[in-house]
Chains A and B, each alone.
Chain A
Amino acid sequence: MLKGKKFRIAGSLLVLALVGAACSSRDDNNASTDNGGGSGDSGGASESSIDTANCTADPTAEIEGNEIKLVSSFPQSGATAAFSQIAKGWKSYIQMINDEGGVEIDGKTYTITTTDKDDQYNPQNTVANIEELVGEDGSNAFAAFSVVGTANNLAIRQQLGDLCVPNLFAATGSPAWGDPTYPWTLGSTLSPYSLEGKAFADLLGDEKPDAKIAVLVQDDDFGKAYEEGLKKAIEGTDLEIVKTEKYATGATEVSAQITSLAASGADAFFDGATLLACPDALTKAAAAGWTPITWVSATCTSKTLMGVAGANANNAYSYTNLKDPLNPDWDDDPAMMEYREKVGQYQPDADVNNGIVAYGWTQGALLVEALKAAEKPTRLAVMESIHNFSASDVGLLLPGVTVKTGPDDPYLGEAFNVMKYEFTAPDARNHFVLVGDINDVEGQTADFTPESLISSG
């Protein structure tokens, strides 16, 4: 039956249709709207910290029409599909702004359109996606935004840098975005990973100045940033790293590593694991009867990850610069209420309680602020605006946190508040509780990060 001739012919045709679907010809694309590329009015700022001598596309060209085209590439399927939630946050904010009339730059109003493609977390795909979305001459989009993944952003920063197309708010905490050779790529409010070591060292300085630290990190650049950052932070203190264990990227259980760390006699633990390995470390530590002062990676602070660790996550420290939707203290906060309402309206399938949606929302808000602060509707002006940026109480930023950049300081997320996880009951609304005040290390990221992690050479 399934092999009958007619079925086979029909099947072949269907397959052919799927395989040979429409493709665009070489001449089609020249008709696309010019969005910053090509010649134009070039009354750019005379004092610019950004060198535009080698730009292959003109960064001073004004946007034609009234659409600001943003493009992004991030995982929407496959193993890391969960990261697609970030986009739901910023899409909601942008849709809200568009409905309210759009963004005004230099007297003219613009709507923001966003286009994105799935890269399944493969840098090869990110390169292809961005080349397609931005265009070889940069004429298909104004800027790239919120691309996920350190490797993915590293793969595109040169091409975007050559085109002088902004790559804004890269969704990773890698310190590499502070590299002055690539001013067109910028990080986001995700604090640089190396700062977590500093925060933990400061915490221990208060609680247990002579602590012996055990470290668990992933075996890649993410782990290296943690390891090196912590090492640098404890220089000159009485803190000591007694054992470091690594786990393979993507592993979901770390019992052997925890056993090894627990046996080291450490009384402080830096759990630099991410995704499922992080709560697993907490559970295994508890099962081994090991109760050190624990710090969890800021990437691990989501409701779901801490949730599966349950009671074992109690008293774990981390830090943040955003309001946590799970924290009842913010339930009546106007910014939080607006966030819940708008995300529910524009992206109803998003989980508002998920911290990465809140993060996405905040990046959207910051982007709009940066656009508004630009002197002219050109790429160069927007970059200068972002490199001399100062914002607080935007999106879901914690009160007291100022997102600031300057000519020598390209890092946005340098203020944070330490927090501690409180577990009350399995079905309760367990959440992190803020501890202490905002710690502002503005401009100091480079001091706490080894040079090799920032510049690529």
Chain B
Amino acid sequence: MQLFVEQVLNGVANGVVYGSVALALVLIFRTTGVLNFAQGEMALFATFISWKLTQQGLPVVGAIAISMAIAFVSGAIIERVLIRPVETGRSPLNVVIVTLGMFLALNSLVQLIFGTDPQFMPSAFPKGGIKLFESGGRTATLQKGTLGLVLVLIAECIVLWAILNHTRLGLKLRAVAANPDSARLHGIKAGSMLMLGWAMSAAIGALAGSMVAAQRTGFDSNLMQTVLIYALAAAALGGFDSLWGAVICGIIVGVADALTIQYVDPLNGIEVVMPLAFILVVLMVMPHGLFGKRTVERV
């Protein structure tokens, strides 16, 4: 039992990491309809910026805030300059190619600018853990960093949910995502809304990246690559529709992974099978993910 709880806690610690990246993915999808493969690398770039700022002496929270602001602006610029010209074209695959090109370019630039050495990212949260219970001479502790990340995620979800569902701005964002042409007819500047969507996701991604880097022992240019597949799995599981879904499914994926490592020995080393098999099974039964909305297709 003790071991089980400890592994669940491990899983949650990783799960919030996956959930925070999944959140950025779902956000950009909901506001612009694009699956941004470069999301992880954009977050990576911002993370290195905030790391560099902490190296210069800034407090962690300040560094993260600045990197989020930079990411916000950059996200908008990227949408306008790189994505808009291909978005309106005939093939949605072109946007995918652009995001893949960005993926390669950003990763490479990070290596060039910041080097290939692993670095240490200080955490915004206090060290140490909260003892949950003891047994057999060992304690199950919930790390304060993990708890902090959970709280940050909940806050993000609430804020985003409020913006999207209860403000005019959110309404405009959703309208443009649903049907850009109709939205234009209503006087909404579709272009600006798309830029805003990218900007917000970039900022959320920057926050996620910095938190993820802090939660790991060290990070380098490969930080997001191992996380991305799990984050995509979490987003898919959640249905790509729901912000809460992304976070909750991130935790589910993390816990499933940890439990697989502990209890399923034949899969030792290939635990990534577990979340993938999980998604497959769930999607067969619920094709819109655990939290997605059922959709009606007009013929």
Contact = CB atoms under 8 A, between A and B. Distances in A.
B120 interface: yes
A108 B226 CA distance: 53
B140 to A, nearest CB: 9
A308 B119 CA distance: 6
Interface in B257-271: 257-258, 261-262, 268-271
Nearest to A305: B118
Nearest to A252: B226
A444 interface: no
A305 B222 contact: no
A19 interface: no
Interface string A58-99: 000000000000000000010101100000000000000000
B3 A280 contact: no
B257 A256 contact: yes
Interface string B94-123: 000000000000001001000011111000
Interface string A243-270: 0011111111101110110110000000
A218 B143 CA distance: 26
A280 B216 CA distance: 7
B116 A253 contact: no
B54 interface: no
Contact of A253 (B6, B14, B119, B262): B14
A248 B269 contact: yes
B218 to A, nearest CB: 3
A308 B122 CA distance: 11
Contacts of A252: 216, 219, 222-223, 226
B74 interface: no
Interface in B73-100: 85
Contacts of B13: 255
Contact of B118 (A219, A248, A304, A351): A304
A260 B261 contact: yes
Contacts of B116: 81-82
Contact of A255 (B14, B219, B269, B270): B14
B272 A248 contact: yes
A42 B39 CA distance: 61
A180 interface: no
A247 B260 CA distance: 12
B270 A248 contact: yes
Specify the main secondary structure of chain B where it touches its partner. Answer: mixed
A435 to B, nearest CB: 25
Nearest to B271: A248
B138 interface: yes
Contact of B129 (A81, A251, A276, A287): A287
B11 A256 contact: yes
B118 A308 contact: yes
A355 to B, nearest CB: 12
Contacts of A218: 269
B226 A308 contact: no
B120 A256 contact: no
A147 to B, nearest CB: 19
Most buried by A among B6, B139, B218, B272: B218
A419 B141 CA distance: 33
A128 interface: no
Contacts of A247: 269
A307 interface: yes
A5 interface: no
A178 interface: no
Contacts of A262: 138
A77 B109 CA distance: 11
A256 B222 contact: no
Interface string A305-326: 1011110000000000000000
Contacts of B10: 255-256, 259
Interface string B1-28: 0110011001101100000000000000
Given A82-B117, A245-B261, A289-B139, A280 B108 contact: no
A280 B117 contact: no
A297 interface: no
B261 A256 contact: yes
Interface in A173-223: 218-219
Contact of A79 (B118, B143, B225, B269): B225
Given A248-B270, A307-B120, A256 B108 contact: no
Contacts of B139: 289
B218 A263 contact: no
A23 interface: no
A77 B108 contact: yes
Interface string B118-145: 1110000000010000000011010100
Contacts of B7: 256, 259-260
A210 B110 CA distance: 48
B59 to A, nearest CB: 17
A263 B261 contact: no
A287 B217 CA distance: 11
Given A79-B225, A259-B6, A308-B120, A279 B217 contact: yes
A248 B217 CA distance: 17
A28 B87 CA distance: 46
Closest 5 A/B residue pairs (Cβ): A219-B269, A308-B218, A82-B116, A256-B261, A256-B258
Given A248-B271, A251-B226, A305-B118, 12 more contacts: A79-B222, A81-B116, A248-B272, A250-B222, A250-B226, A253-B216, A255-B14, A256-B7, A276-B219, A279-B217, A283-B217, A308-B218
29 contacts: A3-B85, A79-B225, A81-B111, A81-B221, A219-B270, A246-B268, A249-B269, A251-B226, A253-B14, A253-B216, A255-B10, A256-B10, A256-B257, A259-B3, A259-B6, A263-B2, A263-B3, A263-B6, A275-B118, A276-B216, A279-B217, A280-B217, A287-B143, A289-B138, A305-B118, A307-B218, A308-B119, A309-B218, A354-B117
Interface of B: 2-3, 6-7, 10-11, 13-14, 85, 108, 111, 116-120, 129, 138-139, 141, 143, 216-223, 225-226, 257-258, 261-262, 268-272
